[in-house]
Chain A
Amino acid sequence: MQLTVNGKPESIESKDSLNITALLEELKVKDALYVTVELNGEILERENFDNTTVKNGDSLEFLYFMGGGR
């Protein structure tokens, strides 16, 4: 399955459909508990991570907290 993640092409070896939680694991996303996920331009609610699956051609953005400034 071909995805675009934060603007970069990403190939995922997966037989079945993959939900967002599994995808975050698969991609070894750091701080996955706090990442905001945008799927094809829509921000997903965290409670829907398990029941939202990705398909070939989907585009995702992982948005991370950045708390610094000083």
Chain B
Amino acid sequence: MLTEEQILRYSRHIILKDVGGKGQQKLLDGRVLIIGAGGLGAPIALYMAAAGVGTIGIADADVVDVTNLQRQVIHFTPDVGKPKVESAAEKMRAINPDVTVNTYQEWVSAANIAQMIADYDFVIDGTDNFAAKFLINDACILGNKPYSHGGILQFDGQTITVWPRESACYRCIFPEPPPKDAIPTCSQAGVIGVLPGVLGTIQATEAIKFLLGKGELLTNRLLTYNALRMRFREVPLKRSAKCPVCGDQPTVTELRDELDAMTVCDLEH
């Protein structure tokens, strides 16, 4: 039952036919895990908290750095040096004391991810390296957990929602991670500050639709975005029978850390 204060706080949701009091209750009962409290994670965490998603997990081992502030809008200048999950949790609780924020100040790994995602209804990938992106995909497929993938670089971004064994997964598109240092990530290539805001907000929208059970999820289509040309495109995809993790004869049957896909930059973090 919503309290009077909640009816007021969420009134703009509640008047929506597709949300209503029932939908808002679903959000309050919802559990979403955000992996990465950086560029993508920042808008995702802010909107999850504001929307009243009742339990939000946020995982990141890093501390706030001054170079993060150009895009990671959940962290403020006085937060430099503070663990990102703490900095993020403070803002989320300040936006909405209704929500429970669980912080995990650790990197996801083959050893901890399965247990971490098990407590949640939906997972959002806001990480910045291929080792984590492939691990999250594999853990969500093997753990049967719907999730949103997001990736950004310079002025481009891409996102897809994965419904395990029903829709195309990340490995259906990219069977194996690229070799170490083959593709620029993080600090080398640069990223326009608003880009993770656009992509992260789309990922947050997917989590909310998933919890509400409304609309069409971004499954079986990769949404790509280019900020310079201001273009969105959708590439239709389907599950691959040859996918190493969700195909007919999977070769990835247990979680492993893709150490080869880690970059020097990841290890520094």
Interface residue? A28 (CB, 8 A): no
Tell me which residues across on chain B come within 8 A of A36, comparing CB atoms.
Answer: 173-174
Taking beta carbons and an 8 Å cutoff, which residues of B are in contact with A?
Answer: 36, 38-41, 62, 68, 72, 125-130, 133, 150-153, 156-158, 172-174, 178, 182-186, 189, 191, 196, 222, 233, 235-238, 240, 242
CB of B192 to closest CB in A, whole Å: 11
B184: which A residues are within 8 A, CB to CB? 67
Scoring A residues 48 to 70 as 1 if CB is less than 8 Å from chain B, else 0, what string do you get? 00000000000001011111111
| Residue among A6, A7, A68 making CB contact with B186, cutoff 8 Å | A68
A38-B235, A67-B129 given; name 4 further pairs at CB < 8 Å: A41-B236, A63-B173, A67-B130, A68-B189
Measured in the bound complex, the distance between the Cα atoms of B184 and A66 in whole Å is: 8
A interface secondary structure, majority = loop
Q: Is the CB of A70 within 8 A of B130?
A: no
Q: Does A43 contact B (CB under 8 A)?
A: yes
The contact size tier of chain A is 10 to 19
CA A36 – CA B160 in complex, angstroms? Answer: 15
Is the Cβ of A70 less than 8 Å from the Cβ of B156? Answer: no
Q: Which residue of A lies closest to B203 (CB)?
A: A69
Contact residue among A34, A69, A70 (Cβ-Cβ distance under 8 Å from B183): A34
A16–chain B nearest beta-carbon distance, Å:
28
A70 with B174, Cβ < 8 A, contacts A6-B233, A34-B183, A41-B236 known: no
